[in-house]
Structure 1
Amino acid sequence: MPRQPHAAPGRSRRSYDQYCAAARALDSVGDRWTLLIARELLAGPRRYTDLHTDLPGVSTDMLASRLKDMERDGIVERRRLPAPAAATVYTLTARGGELLPVLDALAEWGAGELAGPGPTDAVRAHWFALPLRRRLAGLGGTGVVEAYVDEGAFHVRVGERPVTAQHHPEPYGDGPAPEGSDTRLTLSTDTCAALVRGDFTLADAVREGRVRVDGEGEVAELLRTR
């Protein structure tokens, strides 16, 4: 277990006390729930209640504690939305946005474990966004893609350098894209999971009728012609 370091005055945190880049990273994001909070915030600013809803299993005390830690470490910040929303939201800082490739790699590494949801597993449509975005990026096209699965819709932006600082588009998000999309995919959750696992390619899924493609975007055209 990490042990308490001799922290600077006013700063208390657990640390592995190892002069190693990986250990230093885990000092900040290695605690339970931290990276999953980052996964949610990569989709855009979220209210505390939204985060609690989409992180089933986390207690209110644990969520509040993790968010406080992430604020302390410069990963997350709070801001007040202007009227008429007038709500306080959590958002990733520019440093927090740099966790995208970390979560990309974790999702890729864990994709093979999606053999099927267990009886107690929660499922959210946008949890497929990270790995599906990688599959779409492999096509080489650019655009905003909406995906509709059994649990709902999510959108991803592909072919562009994603920026998650304030006032820049997020790499993915829950629900339809606010600005609209140029490609729309309709598929079952089982098909989406199989694509993520690598059981077949997107182009194969389209040819076999497992995925319906609508829209006139570059990604849509690439899927129809592959």
Structure 2
Amino acid sequence: MKKSIYVLILLVFSLIVFSACNENPDDEVDIMYKSVDKQHVFIMDTLDLALDDSPESLHIDSIISGLIDAELVSTGYLRYDLDKNTNPDIAFEIIDLKPYNDDFPESFYSLAIRAHSYTVEFLDNSTYQYADALDANEQIGSDGNWTTQTIVLGTFQNAGNFNGQGDKFLAFRIVDGSIYKYGWIKVNCSEHNDTLKVIDYAFNKIHASSILAGQMN
């Protein structure tokens, strides 16, 4: 009798261990969440721009005044360290796509918002560098086309998926060797691409495990 009980206990324990080892990694969740609530603005009127002392405006003014040599006028890279290891993972940029030829413009109307990668890949199922604009609760995982290329959120030709669409989620995955940590950034791009709001972001710290857009825990 005791032997039978021992065998039964051993069998149950083995089943528990087997189930744990074969658990779907997509079901594992350890979310790192961060509220950002930061707004970046490319002031379109150059008279107003000259009076503004934000980092974005100072960078633009430095290009216009010749202190920074650049063919295109932009805010410069707006960097974010997502995993808090002191190194940037992603950078946003608001840029005027009309070449600047030392002519002081009255205003900027050819704006675009882009995202650049340091350590991440972006979800781009268009395959033309127009990142997917996800809604809340859409799953972010290995499926889809992932790229390290610079991607467009919005352009003055309305070719992007984010501008004028309200709060949307940009899917990313942090590359850690041969494995990935999947996450999202909630952003809001204005209709004319002069304003980018970075609202918050999160990623699943469990390697190769998915996350839902907007998931915080």
TM-score range, shorter chain: under 0.3
Judging by fraction of residues, say which structure has more helix.
1
Alignment TM-score, normalising by the size of structure 1: 0.24
**TM-score (norm: length of structure 2):** 0.24
Greater relative CO, 1 or 2 (CA 8 Å, sep 6+):
2
Over alpha carbons, which structure has the higher Rg? 2
